[in-house]
């Protein structure tokens, strides 16, 4: 079964800077985990530890059946001259889809995130909100077992943010483990589970 087990996980930069400690939980598919806590509490660090990109200071993380991990960063990163369609089609091409199928699937993802009309825009021409939604669409297109999302609604209006929250919920029900670091109370309320780092300070 696909899962991520955190066993007494803690992290500190030095003796005086302990971010969190004693986190023991199991992350499962069909759940959306809202990772919350004040700025500086270690949300991005914990995402990195869950992804396996950083080792915790204490405890261990065991991943079962995780073949692919995708991380949607808070600050959109793209190639200025490439179109929105290019950015989402690329993960499908990497999975072996033919070019026509990759483009069709990419357009479907763009439509889901309200970017159908922006498919042919270059990344450098997108607004901040459009670029953020594009990164979400690209993350979903990667077909990852574990999707980590950092502040997905920070640059979105309320209606679009609610739509993104709903889509992340639907994605989790398809078998993906979804962990969302957020300050947005609506995203927290839309999640199935909450990991509050204040409990582990």
Q: Which structural domains are found in the chain, ordered by start? A: 3-68+144-200 (3.40.50.300)
| pLDDT (tens digit per residue) in 30-62 | 999 999 998 888 999 999 999 999 999 999 999
What DSSP element (H or E) covers 97?
none
For residue 121, pLDDT over 80 is answered with yes
pLDDT band at 77; cut points 50, 70, 90? confident
Q: What is the pTM of this model?
A: 0.88
pLDDT at 5: 97
> Cα(148)–Cα(157) distance, rounded to whole angstroms?
21
Q: How far are the Cα atoms of 9, 16, 119, 199 from residue 87, in angstroms, in the given order?
A: 35, 42, 10, 38
Q: What is the mean pLDDT of the chain?
A: 91
Q: Are 32 and 181 in contact (CB under 8 A)?
A: no
118-139 b/e (C-beta count within 10 Å ≥ 16 → b):
bbebebeebeebbbbbbbbbbb
* Residue 149 CB burial class (10 angstroms; 0-12, 13-18, ≥19): buried
């Amino acid at each position: 079964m696909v899962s991520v087990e955190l066993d007494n996980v803690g992290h500190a930069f030095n003796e005086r800077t302990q971010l969190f400690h004693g986190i023991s939980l199991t992350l499962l598919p069909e759940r959306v985990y809202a990772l919350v806590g004040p700025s500086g509490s270690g949300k991005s660090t914990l995402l990195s530890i869950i992804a396996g990109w950083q080792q915790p200071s204490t405890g261990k993380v065991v991943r079962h059946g995780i073949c692919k991990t995708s991380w949607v960063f808070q600050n959109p990163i793209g190639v200025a001259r490439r179109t929105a369609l290019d950015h989402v089609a690329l993960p499908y091409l990497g999975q072996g889809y033919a070019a026509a199928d990759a483009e069709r699937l990419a357009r479907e993802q763009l439509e889901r995130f309200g970017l159908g009309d922006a498919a042919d825009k270059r990344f450098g021409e997108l607004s901040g909100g459009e670029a953020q939604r594009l990164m979400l669409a690209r993350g979903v297109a990667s077909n990852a077992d574990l999707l980590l999302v950092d502040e997905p609604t920070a640059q979105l209006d309320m209606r679009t943010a609610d739509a993104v929250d709903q889509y992340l919920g639907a994605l989790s029900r398809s078998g993906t483990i979804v962990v969302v670091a957020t300050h947005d109370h609506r995203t927290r309320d839309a999640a199935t589970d909450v990991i509050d780092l204040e409990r582990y300070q």
